[in-house]
Amino acid sequence: MLPQRIIEQLIAIVGESRLLLEADDLKRFGVDRTTLWQAAPCGVVLPGTVEEVQSIVRLANQCNLAIVPSGGRTGLSGGAVAKDGELVVALDRMNQVIEFNPMDRSVTVGAGMITGQLQQFAEEQGLFYPVDFASSGSSQVGGNIATNAGGIKVIKYGMTRNWVVGLKVVNGAGDVIELNKGLAKNNTGYDLRHLFIGSEGTLGLICEATIQLARAPLESSVMVLGIENFAEIVDVLACFSHDLDLSAFEFFSQLALEKVVAHRGHAVPFQTETAFYALLEFEHSSPEIVDKAMALFEHCLDKGWVMDGVISQSLSQAKNLWKLREDISETLWQWQPYKNDISVRISRMADFLGEVDQLVMEQYPDFEIIWYGHIGDGNLHLNILKPELLSVDQFHNKCVNVSTDIGQLLAKYEGSVSAEHGVGLLKKDYLHYSRSAVEMDMMRSIKRAFDPNHIMNPGKLFD
């Protein structure tokens, strides 16, 4: 419960209608997509300007009130969960285009802008915002930056980090800081902008972002290929990426395909059933590039890596093929999946796949395991579906043990326990498999420098 005196001060900052205290609002704003924690914030505040954000942070420092920054709440690691009476600061109202600069090809937007609206804005200017993922219709730019969101085009365009050329933030001490100011080149010491990218709300609140836009992409084609052996997906990737400039190389298992087809009513890509499918996309300026892709496909068939395949003949066919991959995450929610979001270097992927597959088969003989992910980036999503008979707690306890085994395997392969979803509450116990004790200490020191009173998203990333 917020004391009356703080309620009055918050109302003085944002106005009465922008402080939400009703149970329904607390529930809605206090969680992300995870289901392990209950929302229990003390209130939700909706500032409309950077100055209001600053006043809220200053007040929180005076009253020792913890803040959870909230974007579109599409996160998968509990990074935006307010379970311990924190104040949620939601930037939904700060969603405007602030400045578009055609010469720089950059746009400054409020952190509450929906990712899909930024993509749309870029398209209207004849440009392109290339960070894309299934939740782009509801995730917000600030949340994308705070988690350094990846998605389906990282192989060509990189992660969110690559596209952020400026940030306006309020740090945990309540200072407004402008970071990098849209510059393409700026060698003036530590680049604090990059500390905020991926900081998961632990250093401060991202209020505005200047985003570099790309040139509009060329026409693209999508291929789906049927592959029988897990490790051979990597052979197919090596073959295609050697000769083609791929804009995506994704994969999913037959079980993932079955679920999506059953629950979304999509058509299968072809009749041959294989254990795995790779979905790849490439942009082309001439028919020769498509011919080259077909020759690579033939080569993979001859090698016995690929059993069957299809290439899109139209934009709508390309979109339908993409749905087979993009709709997996949403389809699986009904099974309350235990999600893993792991990565290793591509060159180590084939060996890692063999070991992780073996481990999972031994440890989860009775569970339904769904594989998919961005294999072109070395990023696997391993989803374990909750059997109906197990309670959420029983299920979670079983999965936690295997996460430890996977963590150890990742340490051996020098991989990451979180390739793109972030650490949040869900993975902080496994962070040490990817980060050394010295790194952890340095991260804690950095947090202290930005957030001396430890009010920003406490308990996320590390304790």
Which residues would be at the binding site for ligand MLT (CB under 6 A)? Answer: 133-134, 328-329, 381
- Output 112 or 150, the one with its CB closest to ligand MLT: 150
- Cα–Cα distance, 458 to 450 (Å, whole number): 13
Q: How far apart are CB 134 and ligand MLT at their closest, in Å?
A: 5
- Output 221 or 379, the one with its CB closest to ligand MLT: 379
Of all residues in this chain, which one has the CB nearest to ligand MLT in the complex? 329
Contacts 24+ apart (CB under 8 A), 441-447: 446/195, 446/203, 447/172, 447/202, 447/203
Q: How far apart are CB 387 and ligand MLT at their closest, in Å?
A: 19
- Output 329 or 416, the one with its CB closest to ligand MLT: 329
| One-letter amino acid for residue 208 of the chain | E
Q: How far apart are CB 253 and ligand MLT at their closest, in Å?
A: 13
Q: How far apart are CB 316 and ligand MLT at their closest, in Å?
A: 21
Torsion sign, CA atoms 395, 397, 398, 403? positive
Q: Which of 406, 331, 400 is closest to 370 using CA atoms?
A: 331
What is the three-state SS of 51-80? HHHHHHHHHHHHHCCCEEEECCCCCCCCCC
Q: How far apart are CB 24 and ligand MLT at their closest, in Å?
A: 26
Q: How far apart are CB 344 and ligand MLT at their closest, in Å?
A: 16
| One-letter amino acid for residue 117 of the chain | Q
Q: How far apart are CB 333 and ligand MLT at their closest, in Å?
A: 9
- Output 161 or 292, the one with its CB closest to ligand MLT: 161
- Output 111 or 332, the one with its CB closest to ligand MLT: 332
- Output 165 or 360, the one with its CB closest to ligand MLT: 360
- Output 127 or 419, the one with its CB closest to ligand MLT: 419
Q: How far apart are CB 251 and ligand MLT at their closest, in Å?
A: 11
Strands 43-45 and 87-90: parallel
- Output 133 or 305, the one with its CB closest to ligand MLT: 133
